[in-house]
Amino acid sequence: MREVVTEHLRLVETGTADQITALYADDATLEDPVGSEVRRGAAAIREFYATVEPLETETRLVELRVVAGTAAFHFVIVTRPEGMTVTVSPIEVMTFDDEGRITSMKAYWGDADMRFG
């Protein structure tokens, strides 16, 4: 699970939406941020990551805990859309199946966790 989290963050920086989606189980769910629409299945998850794919992006893992098929981690993501810098500091919780694929991802962040520069 640690390796999947690390690979997920690496692919958010440099990979494609298809590569990131391949880390997820076929019927996985994604809720980013928590409280928004839950995306279900590969097509919906791919669509979500396609919005990040063209952006210049950096990620930095701050803290990671892995227990009983679940990973909780705090990280920083910096994107640069249209000449602006946006920094978000979410906490994500992922669950995994027996094959190590992500079955659910919830990202905990809100407006107070965003910085613009």
Q: Which residue in 60, 97, 64 sits closest to 79, CA to CA?
A: 60
DSSP letter string over 56-76? Answer: -EEEEEEEEEEETTEEEEEEE
Domain hosting 47: range is 2-116
State pLDDT tens for residues 47-74. Answer: 999 999 999 999 999 999 999 999 999 9
Q: Which residue in 43, 23, 18 sits closest to 105, CA to CA?
A: 23
Domain CATH code at residue 72: 3.10.450.50
Q: pTM higher than 0.75 for the full model?
A: yes
Q: What's the structural domain count of the chain?
A: 1
State pLDDT tens for residues 79-93. Answer: 999 889 999 999 999
